[in-house]
């Protein structure tokens, strides 16, 4: 179940004479869920298949926390439970408790994330939607009852003068 939390986090950065004011105005968090399915259904989502997690397994969760960097940009923190990042296992047999994350900015996949932290140097002016999904070693999106295990943050970036 997704909850909406409104934040009024405002941070000002000065870098090379450029003033950038990132502001987190809304976040959508995927709450911890119990995943139920004896079969591992495979359907399309964001050009990746889905991997449903069995009912007898602890449910992986992810929370995306955006920390404005003190100099420029943002530090993205992924808080995960019941999931291990396994960069050495990429493209290996899929497991529902390990793999990597995918980062989407404004619905466009930007990169894979193989750990809990990622530095994002810039975003365009205006509203930007950052989304992370948990993915297995074989790149399938991990899902609970057909819903991807993911989290989203919306960042407002002031225009540069």
pLDDT of residue 96: 92
Mean pLDDT of 126-154: 95
Domain annotation covers residue 12: no
Domain annotation covers residue 45: yes
pLDDT of residue 160: 80
pTM summary value: 0.72
Please say if the pLDDT value at position 16 is more than 60: no
What would the pLDDT profile of 22-81 be if each residue is shown by its tens digit?
Answer: 333 333 443 333 222 333 333 333 456 999 998 889 999 999 999 999 999 999 999 999
- Residue 145 lies in domain: 25-157
What percent of the chain lies above the pLDDT cut of 90?
Answer: 63
Q: What's the whole-number average pLDDT of the chain?
A: 76
Please say if the pLDDT value at position 2 is more than 60: no
What would the pLDDT profile of 139-148 be if each residue is shown by its tens digit?
Answer: 999 998 888 9
Candidates 146, 124, 157; CA nearest to 49 is: 146
Domain tally for the chain? 1
With beta carbons less than 8 A apart as the criterion, state whether 133 and 102 touch: yes
Alpha carbons 121 and 141: distance in angstroms, whole number: 26
pLDDT of residue 102: 97
pLDDT of residue 145: 85
Domain annotation covers residue 19: no
The enclosing domain of 101 has a CATH number of 2.60.40.10
pLDDT of residue 79: 98
Domain annotation covers residue 2: no
Domain annotation covers residue 58: yes
Domain annotation covers residue 55: yes
Query: How far does Cα 25 stand from its chain's mean position?
Result: 17
DSSP symbols for 34-69: ----SS----EETTEEEEEPPTTSPPPEEEEEEEE-
With beta carbons less than 8 A apart as the criterion, state whether 60 and 97 touch: yes
């Amino acid at each position: 179940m997704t909850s909406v939390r409104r934040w009024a986090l405002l941070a000002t950065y000065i870098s090379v004479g450029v003033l950038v004011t990132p502001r987190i105005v809304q976040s959508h968090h995927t709450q911890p869920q119990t995943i139920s399915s004896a079969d591992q259904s495979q359907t399309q989502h964001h050009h990746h298949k889905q991997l449903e997690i069995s009912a007898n397994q602890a449910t992986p969760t992810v929370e995306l926390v955006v920390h404005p960097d003190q100099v420029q940009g943002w530090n993205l923190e992924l808080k995960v439970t019941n999931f291990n990042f396994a960069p050495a296992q990429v493209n290996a047999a899929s497991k529902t408790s390990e793999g990597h994350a995918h980062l989407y900015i404004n619905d466009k996949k930007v990169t894979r994330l193989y750990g809990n932290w990622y530095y994002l140097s810039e975003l365009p002016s205006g509203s930007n939607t950052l989304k992370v999904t948990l993915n297995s070693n074989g790149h399938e999106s991990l899902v609970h009852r057909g819903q991807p295990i993911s989290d989203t943050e919306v960042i407002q970036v002031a225009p540069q003068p």
